[in-house]
């Protein structure tokens, strides 16, 4: 392009600069307008009003099954096993003989003591007749009476020793594996078998200090085990320990469970759940509760349709629902689906729940 003089060139350049500046301003205004319009779009979410629903508080824990009565059967004396009267896993009644120990020496001693006691008693009876006729002194009769009583006591002692040679079940229960055979030399403390009364069982489980107010004797407790999927065992809270564990700050609670079919075995792990009376409470869908770090909150919808973050205290959960202790009141509207895309003060638009129940992103 040719310019006739310098002034003409300057006027042309100035016009070009102004035009470029105006075009840039127009583009900037258009971009700002687009940004503003996009940020103001309402976010579609599912909104639900909070209401009171019946709620049953529960305390869940992991416990260990224990027999109602349990003992390891042992011998009281050192002796050789003569006979074994049971098989492993057998149910026995109280007083049933389990093992007989050899006792020839004690039996011989018993026979000798019994003969001596009989002779002493016979002599005492004769001297009693003579004393009645005043043919012997009363002191002789008293001495013979003491001899007779000592002989009888000796018989009773040997009889007790013989009784120790027959080991009996102290209560009705289920025997464990047999640990001895005929000919085994046993001593005091030698394990013969375990014996457990499992007609009823105890389940000891820890309850945190914060939940102690929710547990009391007589409350219903349900238990499940991995050994019997789908089966629930019903019991009652029987008692609790007298003090808390200083390390865990938990109290050991004992539940009592009937076990008529002996399905529960000592040592099994059981998931227990203690239930309280039903009462009205604020219950919301579990998807509405957000957890970020140590903060638990829900998105409440203000009357103006804005999103407001509200911290809540969750008092309990069941599949699909959560009970809110504090933070919400009946009648509040909250976001129950689509919470992942909500931000504070965002404009919200109510949407119909997904037909297939799938959560909104």
Q: pLDDT at residue 343 above 60?
A: yes
pLDDT in tens, 119-178: 878 888 888 887 787 777 888 878 888 888 887 887 777 677 666 778 899 999 999 999
Mean pLDDT value of segment 294-308: 91
Residue 5 pLDDT: 55
pLDDT in tens, 141-156: 788 888 888 878 877 7
Question: 340 with 324, same domain?
Answer: yes
Q: Is position 72 within any domain?
A: no
Q: Is position 11 within any domain?
A: no
Q: Is position 202 within any domain?
A: yes
Q: CATH no. for residue 330?
A: 2.40.420.20
Output the CA–CA distances (angstroms, integers) from residue 48 to 304, 328, 358, in the order listed.
15, 13, 16
Q: Is position 79 within any domain?
A: no
Q: Is position 98 within any domain?
A: no
Mean pLDDT value of segment 341-347: 89
Question: 127 with 146, same domain?
Answer: yes
Question: 150 with 214, same domain?
Answer: no
pLDDT in tens, 43-72: 889 999 998 988 877 788 999 999 999 999
Residue 213 pLDDT: 77
Q: What would the two tokens of residue 281 be?
A: 């409470």
pLDDT in tens, 16-45: 654 555 555 455 444 443 333 334 688 889
Q: Is position 320 within any domain?
A: yes
Parent domain of 133 = 103-164
Question: 256 with 202, same domain?
Answer: yes
Q: CATH no. for residue 141?
A: 1.10.287
Residue 157 pLDDT: 75
Q: Is position 342 within any domain?
A: yes
Q: Is position 118 within any domain?
A: yes
For residues 92 and 172, the answer to whether their CB atoms sit within 8 Å is yes
Q: CATH no. for residue 274?
A: 2.40.30.170
52: number of Cβ within 10 Å: 13
What is the domain count for the chain? 3
């Amino acid at each position: 392009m040719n310019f006739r003089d310098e002034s003409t060139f300057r006027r042309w350049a100035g016009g070009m600069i102004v035009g470029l500046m105006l075009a840039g301003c127009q583009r900037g205004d258009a971009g700002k307008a687009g940004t503003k319009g996009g940020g103001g779009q309402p976010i579609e979410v599912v909104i639900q009003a909070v209401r009171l629903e019946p709620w049953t508080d529960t305390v869940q824990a992991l416990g260990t099954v224990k027999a109602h009565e349990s003992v390891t059967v042992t011998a009281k004396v050192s002796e050789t096993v003569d006979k074994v009267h049971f098989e492993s896993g057998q149910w026995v009644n109280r007083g049933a003989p389990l093992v007989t120990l050899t006792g020839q020496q004690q039996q011989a001693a018993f026979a000798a003591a019994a003969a001596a006691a009989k002779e002493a008693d016979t002599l005492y009876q004769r001297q009693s007749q003579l004393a009645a006729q005043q043919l012997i002194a009363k002191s002789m009769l008293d001495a013979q009476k003491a001899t007779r009583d000592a002989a009888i006591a000796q018989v009773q002692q040997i009889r007790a020793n013989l009784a120790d040679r027959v080991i009996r079940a102290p209560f009705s229960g289920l025997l464990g594996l047999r640990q001895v055979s005929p000919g085994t030399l046993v001593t005091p403390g030698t394990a013969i078998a375990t014996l457990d009364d499992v007609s009823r069982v105890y389940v000891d489980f820890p309850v945190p200090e914060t939940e102690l107010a929710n547990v009391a004797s007589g409350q219903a407790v349900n238990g499940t085990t991995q050994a019997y999927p789908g089966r629930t065992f019903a019991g009652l809270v029987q008692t609790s320990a007298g003090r808390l564990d200083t390390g865990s700050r938990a109290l050991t609670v004992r539940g009592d469970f009937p076990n008529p079919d002996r399905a529960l075995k000592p040592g099994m792990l059981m998931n227990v759940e203690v239930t309280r009376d039903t009462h009205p409470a604020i219950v919301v869908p579990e998807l509405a509760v957000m957890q970020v770090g140590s903060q638990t909150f829900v998105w409440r919808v203000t009357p103006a349709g804005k999103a407001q973050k509200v911290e809540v205290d969750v008092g309990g959960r069941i599949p699909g629902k959560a009970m809110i202790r504090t933070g919400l009141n009946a009648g509040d509207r909250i976001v129950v689906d689509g919470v992942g895309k909500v931000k504070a003060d965002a404009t919200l638009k109510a949407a119909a729940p997904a037909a297939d129940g799938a959560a909104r992103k």
